A and B are shown apart, each in its own frame.
Chain A
Amino acid sequence: MNNRLSLSQAFVFLLRRDLLVALRNRAEYAMPILFFVLVITLFPLAIGPVPELLSRIAPGIVWVAALLAAMLSLDSIFRSDFDDGSLEQILLSPHPVAVLVLAKVCAHWLVTGLPLLIAAPLLGQMLGMPQQALPTLLLTILIATPVLSLIGAIGVALTVGLRKGGIILSLLVLPLYVPVLIFAASAVDNAAAGFDVSAQLTMLLAFLFLSLSLSPWATAAALRMSAS
């Protein structure tokens, strides 16, 4: 008798397990969002509290900060699993590793990407971003931060076995983030000026589907490499 779990059950199980672990490590997972707020606070301090200037560059600042916060949190996707040997167990599962990887990335996005959604409008206000840009800001964060997690997962999977992986990780991942940054910031910028943003949002959606379909495979291959 074969009572192996179906793939979707295994997916949900791993997702729940990761969320549970995150819940019991709350303090650690609050860091990225704190970092996000902190970076944005630095800008008015550095360039002066000039409302026109700040509101002009607010979309760019928010998105660069979101990018950095996403990158900072990446390491936690696979780090603890790699260190305690759980990763080996996942790789030795009869389920397709790419799907299990996707579950882990989803969990990671839920605890690190989604909170940005709450913080971003607040910070937009503090920087004097026009009201009409807020829905677009939220929409871009909703669509584009999963892309950051998915692409970042490849980078982490490649560097998780290294002692000093942090710097290399940013060198690997940031160039790949460029398209997301361009289209997301431009969407918010356009919305602030009252223009149409459907082109940018369509592109971001395309990035999302592309990374959803390709990144788990690359990540799984990279994890196999790191585990050997």
Chain B
Amino acid sequence: MFLWFHKFGSPPHFYRIAGKWIPWLSGLFLVLVTAGLFGGLIAAPPDYQQGDSYRIMFVHVPSAWMSMLVYVAMAVCGIIIMVWRMKLAEIVLISSAPIGASFTFLALVTGSLWGKPMWGTYWVWDARLTSELILLFLYLGIIGLHNAIEDKRVAARAVAILAIVGAVNVPIIHFSVEWWNTLHQGPTVTKFDKPSIYWSMLLPLLLMALSFQVYYVLALFQQCRAELLRRERNSKWVEEL
């Protein structure tokens, strides 16, 4: 098992394996996302309160989930970097950052689009939207720090530390914002609470979530391959390609 892990971690091997997986993952993603969108946008019944506008949830909720999941993945990479100094983890961490930031941005945009029919305005200081906004800042901080440090191996250690510190803070920030929100608005039910879920809604939601996860791995592989080539452009195996 460890040997396999070690082999998978070697850059040329990863480059090849990831290249082989990309078409399969693309296919899987297309199937899942089509099924999810069909289920969500066409098959699922309209909500009795929100009509059709709730359907944006099928994009909003999975992207919000992904924004957290990617951050956790980055923090795990951060720990691997600090303990084992594994090159592949460095590449996965920094390749994840723009993907995670995009998911966060998507969650923010869809959230405010959803907010327009609900609240009559594109932005309210809802707890989850505010948390997502701060999460976006955390992502941008990681990207900014990585860009600012020239030596990329040093930069990887810097963002590893930052990702770990951030991951400790994310739950605290989330909790604080939640607390702040109830304090100032009274214990109203937030609009993003899952509406009473029917199978016809839950299934497409899960499908969408799954397809987003596949998409993450797909985008990650592509980013990692590009980053690997950039980093190892002088090494033998890249020249042989």
Contacts and interface: CB of A to CB of B under 8 A. Distances in A.
A228 B173 CA distance: 32
Range of interface residues on B (Cβ < 8 Å)? 20 to 34
Nearest to A175: B137
Range of interface residues on A (Cβ < 8 Å)? 20 to 34
Q: Is the interface of A mostly helix, strand, loop or mixed?
A: helix
Given A178-B134, A179-B173, A183-B176, A218 B165 contact: yes
Q: Is the interface of B mostly helix, strand, loop or mixed?
A: helix
Interface stretch (A4-12, A105-113, A130-138, A164-172): A164-172
Interface stretch (A22-30, A92-100, A154-162): A154-162
Contacts of A218: 161, 164-165
B137 A154 contact: no
A162 B150 CA distance: 9
Contacts of B154: 225, 228
A182 B148 contact: no
Nearest to A158: B158
A202 to B, nearest CB: 12
Contact of B169 (A158, A159, A176, A183): A176
B46 interface: no
Given A179-B172, A214-B168, A222-B158, A171 B140 contact: yes
B145 interface: yes
A76 interface: no
A171 B136 CA distance: 11
A68 interface: no
A195 B29 CA distance: 53
B138 interface: yes
Given A171-B140, A179-B176, A225 B148 contact: no
Interface of B: 82, 134, 137-138, 140-141, 144-145, 148-149, 154, 157-158, 161-162, 164-166, 168-169, 172-173, 175-177, 179-180, 183
7 contacts: A165-B148, A171-B137, A171-B144, A175-B137, A183-B176, A221-B161, A222-B158
Q: Which 9 A-B pairs have the closest CB atoms?
A: A179-B176, A175-B137, A225-B157, A172-B141, A182-B180, A171-B141, A182-B176, A175-B134, A168-B144
